[in-house]
C-alpha cells in the first residue's frame, strides 16, 4: 500500500479539483482506531483499505470499475463484520447494543442503495463512496464503536 500511495501522489492527481477532497487524504491505521479486539481491528483495517483503494483508483482512471467492485463488496463486508461485532457486544453485555445495531442497519441500507444504483448503471463517484466510508470511520468507528470498548474489556476482549 505504501508503494501505491507514493505512486498515487507521483501521478500528480489534483485533489483541489474535487471540492472537499483535501480533507480526505490517505488514511493510515493507528491505535486511535483500535477497539482492543484483534478480530474487529482487522475488519476495520479492511474498511480503511477500501477508502485508500478508492483514492488510488481515482488517480488511475479506473474509478468507476473499482467503485462498482467496492460498492458491491460493502454489503458482504458489513454483514460479516457487523455479525461478529454484535456477537462481541452481546457477550460483553454492552447496554448500548440496540442503538448500535440500528446504526449498523442504517449503514447496510445505504450500502444497499448504492449497490442498487450501481447495478442500474448509474455512475457513482468514487468521491461519494469515499465520503460515505470516511464518515462511517469518523462517526461510527471512532465514536459509537469506542463506547463498547469498556464492556468488551471487562469480558476479556481478545
CB of 145 to Fe ion, least distance (A): 5
Q: Which residues lie near Fe ion (CB under 5 A)?
A: 145
Nearest to 34 by CA among 48, 21, 24, 23: 48
Which value, in Å, is the radius of gyration of the alpha carbons in the chain?
A: 17
Of 6 and 106, which CB lies nearer to Fe ion in the complex structure? 106
CA distance 44 to 80: 12
Residue nearest to Fe ion (CB): 145
Of 129 and 141, which CB lies nearer to Fe ion in the complex structure? 141
CB of 89 to Fe ion, least distance (A): 8
Of 4 and 147, which CB lies nearer to Fe ion in the complex structure? 147
CB of 99 to Fe ion, least distance (A): 11
18 Ramachandran zone, left/alpha/beta (phi>0; psi -120 to 50): beta
Amino acid at each position: 500500500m505504501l508503494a501505491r500511495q507514493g505512486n498515487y501522489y507521483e501521478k500528480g492527481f489534483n485533489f483541489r479539483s474535487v471540492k472537499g477532497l483535501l480533507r480526505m487524504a490517505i488514511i493510515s491505521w493507528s491505535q486511535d482506531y483500535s477497539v482492543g479486539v484483534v478480530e474487529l481491528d482487522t475488519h476495520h483495517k479492511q474498511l480503511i483499505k477500501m477508502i485508500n483503494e478508492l483514492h488510488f483508483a481515482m488517480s488511475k482512471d479506473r474509478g468507476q470499475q473499482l467503485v462498482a467492485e467496492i460498492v458491491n463488496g460493502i454489503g458482504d463486508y458489513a454483514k460479516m463484520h457487523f455479525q461478529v461485532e454484535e456477537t462481541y457486544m452481546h457477550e460483553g453485555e454492552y447496554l448500548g447494543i440496540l442503538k448500535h445495531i440500528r446504526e449498523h442497519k442504517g449503514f447496510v441500507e445505504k450500502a444497499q442503495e448504492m449497490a442498487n444504483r450501481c447495478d442500474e448503471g448509474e455512475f457513482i463517484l468514487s468521491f461519494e463512496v469515499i465520503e460515505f466510508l470516511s464518515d462511517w470511520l469518523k462517526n461510527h468507528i471512532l465514536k459509537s464503536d469506542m463506547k463498547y470498548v469498556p464492556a468488551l474489556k471487562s469480558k476479556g476482549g481478545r
